[in-house]
């Protein structure tokens, strides 16, 4: 049996809270054997399927870490949230929403058929591959490195350091991702791409290969939870409107065709990636009881064993448990 938090009060120490999270992580670590590491990008297969780690960061630097929390991994589809944010900051929200919709697709993240079958005027949303590749084609810059510079600038502002691209993962995806090339060519044919396809795909593969830790995801999650403002410095890092749209998209489309279940059972804006990362942004909430992180928190999870939708299997179960124990749902 997993333990619950009986009576949280703000006098309790981080260590006390941490001991609960450690128990929960070791309980859910056993669930990693129900999933499988992604293999369609060959280098991702080298991840240890048993790993499970979490970081939770709240206001005033309160921070809890448990399990395999030091392992760097590539952010993969989590980068789609960042590219959408950067594109909105570069071009404006209405320009972007004219070119990419905000509706859940109810399809696999790399589905191509809906584009043709539904004769869409724009991709369903920026968090499926067709939408993300369209967004990446809109980023400003001639080369892939120029296009990614504003994303790295934003990351540096949020994290206090400039993350790196994992070149092995980048090359592995670049050399194996025939489906993304197929989606790219189709988008080109129907006129959705705003710039050169090859540079767009190179940029997309690079953004997916940015390396991060669960702490990094939790820090970004905390800023999103606070509508784009760093709650410790009051600095606005992402415009409020953009942060709110990003969270709405995470909630409705962030876990692909499992987004409805995630919203129902966890109830926090979140986004997953095929390397096993999940970013979650739990906004401040009003409750009568004393509960942890009432002022909001960011959560980063890493667990590379995935379920059949491409989401971290143990990571989702762990988040569901924590959301229930701490009443984190926004609903």
Residue ranges at the known binding site for substrate? 77, 129, 173, 180, 204, 256, 274
Q: Is 80 a catalytic site residue?
A: yes
* Per CB under 6 A, 208 contacts ligand DON: yes
Instruction: State the minimum distance, in angstroms, from the CB of residue 110 to ligand DON.
Output: 6
Hey, which residues between 80 and 109 contact ligand DON (CB under 6 A)? 109
Show the site string, 36-75: x = touches ligand DON by CB under 6 A, - = not. ----------------------------------------
Nearer to ligand DON, 64 or 208 (CB): 208
* Per CB under 6 A, 272 contacts ligand DON: yes
* Per CB under 6 A, 77 contacts ligand DON: yes
The residue within the footprint of ligand DON, chosen from 76, 134, 136, 312 (CB under 6 A), is 76
Find how far residue 86's CA is from the centre of its chain. Answer: 15
Helix, strand, coil distribution of the chain in percent, nearest 5: 50, 10, 40
* Per CB under 6 A, 111 contacts ligand DON: no
Catalytic annotation, pick one of 20, 28, 170, 256: 256
Residue 191 near residue 204, CB atoms below 8 Å: no
Q: Which residues are annotated as a binding site?
A: 77, 129, 173, 180, 204, 256, 274
Catalytic annotation, pick one of 20, 21, 43, 77: 77
Per CB under 6 A, the segment of 113-121, 138-146, 239-247, 267-275 that binds ligand DON is 267-275
Burial class of residue 206 (count of CB atoms within 10 Å of its CB; 0-12, 13-18, 19+): buried
Instruction: State the minimum distance, in angstroms, from the CB of residue 55 to ligand DON.
Output: 19
The residue within the footprint of ligand DON, chosen from 32, 55, 69, 110 (CB under 6 A), is 110
Q: What is the DSSP string of 141-183?
A: -SSHHHHHHHHHHHHHHHHSS---B-HHHHHHHHHH-HHHHHH
Residue 151 near residue 207, CB atoms below 8 Å: yes
- The set of residues, in sequence order, having a beta carbon less than 8 Å from that of 325 and lying 6+ positions away, is 4, 5, 20, 24
Catalytic annotation, pick one of 274, 275, 301, 302: 274
Find how far residue 188's CA is from the centre of its chain. Answer: 26
* Per CB under 6 A, 310 contacts ligand DON: yes
Residue 29 near residue 52, CB atoms below 8 Å: yes
Nearer to ligand DON, 229 or 270 (CB): 270
CA distance linking residue 315 with residue 277, whole number of Å: 8
CA distance linking residue 78 with residue 287, whole number of Å: 30
* Per CB under 6 A, 259 contacts ligand DON: no
Q: Is 274 a catalytic site residue?
A: yes
Side-chain half-sphere CA neighbours of 65 within 13 A:
13
Catalytic annotation, pick one of 28, 55, 79, 80: 80
- The set of residues, in sequence order, having a beta carbon less than 8 Å from that of 203 and lying 6+ positions away, is 136, 139, 144, 147, 148
The residue within the footprint of ligand DON, chosen from 58, 66, 126, 173 (CB under 6 A), is 173
Q: Is 28 a catalytic site residue?
A: no
Q: Is 256 a catalytic site residue?
A: yes
- The set of residues, in sequence order, having a beta carbon less than 8 Å from that of 249 and lying 6+ positions away, is 81, 84, 102, 125, 126, 127
Per CB under 6 A, the segment of 83-91, 246-254, 268-276, 315-323 that binds ligand DON is 268-276
In the complex, the residues that contact ligand DON under the rule CB under 6 A are 76-77, 109-110, 129, 173, 177, 180, 208, 256, 272-274, 310
Where in the sequence numbering do the catalytic residues fall?
77, 80, 204, 256, 274
């Amino acid at each position: 049996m997993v333990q619950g938090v009986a009576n949280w009060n703000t006098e309790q120490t981080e260590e006390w809270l941490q001991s609960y999270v450690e128990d929960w992580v070791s309980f859910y670590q056993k669930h990693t054997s129900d999933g499988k590491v992604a293999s369609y990008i060959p280098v991702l297969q080298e991840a240890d399927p048993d790993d499970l780690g979490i970081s939770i960061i709240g206001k005033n630097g309160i921070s809890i870490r448990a399990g395999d929390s030091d392992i760097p991994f590539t952010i993969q589809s989590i980068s789609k949230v960042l590219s959408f944010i950067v594109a909105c900051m570069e071009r404006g929200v209405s320009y972007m929403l004219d070119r990419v919709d905000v509706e859940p697709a109810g399809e696999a993240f790399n589905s191509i058929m809906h584009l043709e079958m539904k004769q869409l005027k724009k991709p369903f949303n920026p968090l499926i591959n067709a939408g993300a590749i369209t967004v990446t084609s809109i980023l400003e810059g001639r080369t892939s490195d120029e296009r990614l510079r504003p994303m790295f600038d934003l990351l540096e502002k949020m994290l206090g350091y400039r993350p790196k691209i994992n070149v092995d993962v980048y090359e592995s995806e670049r050399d194996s991702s025939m489906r993304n090339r197929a989606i790219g060519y189709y988008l080109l044919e129907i006129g959705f791409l705003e710039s050169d396809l090859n540079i767009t795909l190179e940029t997309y593969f690079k953004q997916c290969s940015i390396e991060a830790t669960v702490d990094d995801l939790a820090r970004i999650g905390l800023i999103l939870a606070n509508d784009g403002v760093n709650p410790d410095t009051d600095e606005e890092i992402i415009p409020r409107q953009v942060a709110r749209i990003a969270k709405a998209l995470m909630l409705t489309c962030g876990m692909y065709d499992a987004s409805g279940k995630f919203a129902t059972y966890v109830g926090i804006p979140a986004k997953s990636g095929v390397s096993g990362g999940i970013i979650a942004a739990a906004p401040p909430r009003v409750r009568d009881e004393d509960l942890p992180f009432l002022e909001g928190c960011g959560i980063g999870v890493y667990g590379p064993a995935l379920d059949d939708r491409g989401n971290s299997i143990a990571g989702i179960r762990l988040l569901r448990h924590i959301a229930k124990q701490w009443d984190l749902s926004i609903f």
